A and B are shown apart, each in its own frame.
Chain A
């Protein structure tokens, strides 16, 4: 959150020992009411929770790694991320996602200034900072300064392009394939592609 002094989320408290908060009570009450009314079943809720837990940046990383080794796939990914993901058995959902490809001259970054739109089905839950006032406010005005806070220093000659996501269109950054990875297979390449690489606040780093 944007106000660390007022952060209602301590790091991993012992959940069962914490007092029952108002919003948790409201959540449990609405779930119980809607189950009783037959809007959804307990089983549907359980499956939805499992589905949420099953998503991680590994899915997005597979797309990026495949795009590095298969130029035809890269073209299809740039044309239609949701369809290209389906080829790999990944359900990217019904809301269009656009891939924005980095080059030697252009570095892409994504944000949602109005709320928190994010390619969740490819990256899992968004990090707290993505939803924070500081990131949402500043990255569109001073992206280089924000990226510097993430430890990413870009040369002046590299153009920074910031993409502001909406409820109708989300973005996924395709970082450049790092030098020194010639001949690597897809899983090894995918392991280099972190969540932040696909947001644009980091670049893939070859260890060693």
Chain B
């Protein structure tokens, strides 16, 4: 059977790692961002999933849960033309400058 990477039901895997982590503030913001975009009908849950499923097997396994989400959200918003690559690049530079000014690297 040809399965895509996210379609893992029934496959072999190791023991369930039961340790849990409290969500970092930025992870909650990803969650809030998605809820707002769904509520405003800017994107759909199916689009989020498609975006996650298109990340590729390596990145899918390497990225954390909310890292996958924000990667998908960013790609979907670019794809829809709601933000442009240039705008996003500038906004990310601005976030880095503000963090550096606040003493974060």
Q: Which A residues form the contact surface with B (CB < 8 A)?
A: 1-4, 6-12, 15-20, 23-34, 37, 39-40, 44-45, 48-49, 51-53, 111, 113-116, 125, 127-129, 131-138, 140-141, 146, 149-150, 164, 167
Contacts and interface: CB of A to CB of B under 8 A. Distances in A.
A156 to B, nearest CB: 22
17 contacts: A16-B104, A19-B105, A23-B67, A26-B88, A29-B92, A29-B95, A30-B33, A32-B94, A37-B82, A37-B83, A39-B37, A45-B32, A52-B32, A115-B6, A133-B8, A137-B10, A140-B9
Contact of B21 (A11, A25, A27, A48): A11
Contacts of A140: 9-10
B9 A136 contact: yes
Contacts of B104: 16-20
B30 A134 contact: no
A198 B20 CA distance: 17
Contact of A23 (B11, B13, B66): B66
A7 B65 CA distance: 10
A134 B16 contact: yes
Interface in B3-56: 6-26, 28-33, 35-37, 40, 42, 45-46, 49, 52
- Count class of interface residues, chain B: 35 or more
B7 A113 contact: yes
B40 A164 contact: no
B36 A39 contact: yes
B71 to A, nearest CB: 7
A25 B97 CA distance: 11
Contacts of A25: 92, 95-96, 99
B13 A131 contact: no
